[in-house]
Amino acid sequence: MSNFYQYVSCPTRLNKTIDLCYGSVKGAYKSVALPPLGSSDHNTILLTPTYKPLLKRGKIVTREVEMWTDNAVEELKGALESTDWNVFNNSTTLDERVDVISSYILYLKDLIIPTKCVKVFPNNKPRLNKAVKDALHRKQHAFLCGDVRDKAEAKKEARYEIKRAKLQYKNRIEGKFHSNDLKAEEVDHGPVVEDCVEWCDNHFLKLNGNKTKDMVIDFRKTSHSIIPTTVKGSLVELVESHKYLGTVIDNKLNHDLNTSAVCKKGLQRLYFLRRLNIFNVDKTLMALFYKSFIESILTFSLISWYGNLTVQNKNSLSNIVKLASKIIGTQQLSLTNIYERQL
């Protein structure tokens, strides 16, 4: 009975376990000995499930939410309109002015907008909205009142609201998957570039449009037209990869180009390691040369790209380490171990 597990772990008659109970799930029940029934000489065994529902396992969280009612919004709007904003012009720096104005707005918001404490249960469904909760409350009230007609209408209304809430939640999730953008929305970055150009001009910096490159990272399934970027009327070149601080970043973030560049540099430097081996240089000096001129190339900004590499790219880099270890005669640290240490 290798596929079955024993649940009775307490004595059933005196100090012996005679009565047994088997099941296919390991540790599904916990046995508790109870007094025997009638004149029986065997104890009664209560099997209690070890599984606890999510509602009992999780803790009830109390959150304070803001109630943005129409009256509160109008009151906040009136307070902001009656504010003399010229008072904040006395700030010495722009950062100080932003901090003071933001603090003042937050103060008005905390002072005017009412709040209430709500309980968030672990089994709360994300599709439950206010309409569903109100319908369920009316259904419970009709049940307590005992009116058959109101009870039937409330039950029908609750079923309709639940069905509509499920459909709305389904459409919202499917819409996010269709756009392949779960959080942000696509916006025109032209004004941001214009602000950057204006800031450079105000601080006596010149932005060279010929050396400026534009790279678009887009993981959407369907192709979309890309809005061109312009700097002072000149069109910025659209590239598929860009070298930033010694690391090649491509528009698919698969790091194939960066791996190829690193492998090329590593193989070129293996030539000098072979020459040192031909000249019978000491193994310690060869290991020092490897760590200084080869391993430093392989591990440059390793933590930012090694974790996303494919198995093929990792094998290409590992072959360089294996060749170096074979030339030196001692095993060198693998890139995986170095990556895990840096993490």
Same domain flag for 219 and 154: no
> 263: number of CA atoms within 13 Å, CB side?
16
Phi/psi for 226 (5° steps) reads -100, 130
- Total of domains in the chain: 5
Residue 270 within a domain: yes
Which of the 8 DSSP states describes residue 16? B
User: In terms of domains, do 87 and 36 share one?
Assistant: no
Q: Which domain holds residue 161?
A: 126-184
Identify whether residues 314 and 330 lie together within a single domain. yes
Residues 177-202 have pLDDT tens digits of 655 555 544 455 667 778 888 888 88
Q: How many CB atoms lie within 10 A of CB 317?
A: 21
| Amino acid (one-letter) located at 243 | K
Bridge-based pairing state of the strands 230-231 and 234-235: antiparallel
Same domain, residue pair 151 and 166: yes
- Verify that 262 and 315 share a domain, yes or no: yes
- Residues 312, 269 share a domain: yes
Hey, what amino acid is at 203? H
99: CB partners within 8 A, 6+ apart: none
264 and 327 belong to one structural domain: yes
Do 223 and 151 lie in a common domain? Answer: no
Instruction: From 36, 32, 26, select the one nearest 6 (Cα to Cα).
Output: 26
The arithmetic mean of pLDDT across residues 68-76, rounded, is 90
Q: Give the pLDDT confidence score for residue 329 in this predicted structure.
A: 87
> What is the mean pLDDT of the segment spanning 247-265?
87
**Which is higher by pLDDT, 67 or 232?**
67
Q: Where among 235, 266, 296 does a domain terminate?
A: 235
Quick one: average pLDDT of 46-67? Answer: 81
Per residue in 136-186, pLDDT tens?
A: 889 888 888 888 888 889 889 999 999 998 888 888 777 766 555 555 444
Q: Check: CB of residue 277 under 8 Å from CB of residue 289.
A: no
Residue 188 confidence (pLDDT): 58
Residues 63 and 46 in one domain: no
Query: Does pLDDT of 333 surpass 80?
Result: yes
167 in a structural domain: yes
User: Which of the two residues, 33 and 218, has the higher pLDDT score?
Assistant: 33
Kindly list the distances between the CA atom of residue 44 and the CA atoms of 15, 32, 41, 200, 330, in Å, as whole numbers in the listed order: 14, 8, 10, 84, 67
In whole angstroms, give the CA distance from residue 278 to residue 272.
Answer: 10
Kind of pairing between the strands at 5-6 and 22-23 = antiparallel
In a domain, 246, yes or no: no
Please check whether residue 241 lies inside any domain of the structure.
no
> Considering the domain boundaries, does residue 251 fall inside one?
no
**Do 179 and 201 share a domain, yes or no?**
no
Same domain (yes/no): 118, 144: no
Confidence bin at 310 (pLDDT 50/70/90): confident
Residue 275 pLDDT greater than 60, yes or no = yes
**50-56 CB contacts, 8 Å cutoff, 24+ apart:** 53/123, 54/122, 54/123, 55/121, 55/122, 55/123
Tokens found for residue 26: 């390991």
| pLDDT above 50 for 260 | yes
Is 245 within a domain? no
Same domain for 196 and 159, yes or no, is no
- Report the distance separating Cα 221 and Cα 177, nearest Å: 10
**Per-residue pLDDT at 178:** 58
In a domain, 63, yes or no: yes
Structure tokens at 319: 């072959």
250 belongs to a structural domain: no
* Averaged pLDDT, 55-82: 86
